[in-house]
Structure 1
Amino acid sequence: MPKVTDEYRSARRAEIAEAAQAAFRRKGFQATSMAEIMAESGLSAGAIYNQYKGKADIVHDVANRISRQRLDELDELKAQNPLPAPSAVVRALITAMASDLTAPAQLLQVWGEAATDPDLAEMCGKVYLTMRQAHIEYISLWHQREHGLSPEEADAVGVAQAPLFLSAVHGYVVQSTIVPDFDGAAYLDAMEALLPR
């Protein structure tokens, strides 16, 4: 029997995760069954369970992949010269999030499930801490370049402001999901105009 390579495993997991995201987008995390993920992927139960323990494991992987995409986008923005303002970064991250397979409503579902699922809550907490640290570092770098702050001063500003910028993302997720007349473009304009610079 041929040896299964790490590259093959990684590609198969990505295939399953993408299929799961498509199914989650249609029905939500809670209502999507493993059978529906199998049907979406076109893979057998054995092929999926060779990669994942169950649906919770898939949800965790999908969430981590989404987080990694946002961090990669943040790294790309950090390479720009001049650096975009932190509020412009939040706009870019929200825009990317809203346009990929994971609609904001899915994030709200995950957060809701995390209220009663300790494992999911732990995973969400880790994702938040990772995103917060990435924003702290970005905000610090921006203030050093834009306002000439020392690294120590800029770090202190980053620590203070990062939760505020992340709250703007959370506000977009909640309002775009539950407010019938939510105007996403107006929200992003106001956020970029009013958040600290």
Structure 2
Amino acid sequence: MIHGVSHYLLRKLLVRPSKRKHKPSPVMMLAESFLPWLAQQPADADGRRELVWAEVVTRPDHGADHARARAHVADCLAQALAAAGVKADVHTDGTLIRIDDLHVWAPDVVVRFGTPLPPDVPACDDPVIIAEILPAGTPRKDMQERAAFYFQVASLRHYLILRLDDPVVIHHGRQDDMVQARMVRDDTLYLDPPGVKLGDPRWPPR
């Protein structure tokens, strides 16, 4: 039972998808409770905790190749931003993104502008670029669903999806009120804003 849930949120919970991709825990809460709760928990050796349909789940660690791919994508973004003279923070530490009352996710790479986040701030509410490296075999439908959730965050302009067994980068970009997706097969990707040319983020490097 979740106390204090509005009728609107209760309806969303009742129609949530029944097929789960992570092993759920018995813990259920809303985002405003999840963030302070998570700050009091020890690190989870099996992965990163997220809130999915108001359930606390652990997003599993996908191993060394995934970690190398994440570092490579972050390095590509950092180099592109520096080359363009754009000041930004590139996070690979499981920075949390609050999407709505029922979802708080921890993407692989987060880029944000402005003053660095204080250490006591539990989540980033103004990401500009998000990148995720998904395990081999992840269905493309699942990728599109994640994009739909992430673009509920008003500041987000670019969402990059890389799959370890796929040479194609899927780029979702927002211009005004429209989000468009495209597949990128070459080695250059232009992100505007902030106006940077991104080197090939695919792993392993081509």
Normalised by the shorter chain, which TM-score bucket?
Answer: under 0.3
Question: Highest relative contact order (Cα 8 Å, sep 6+), 1 or 2?
Answer: 1
Of Structure 1 and Structure 2, which has the larger fraction of its residues in strand?
2
The TM-score normalised by the length of structure 2 is 0.26
Structure ranking higher in helix proportion: 1
- Normalising by structure 1, report the TM-score: 0.27
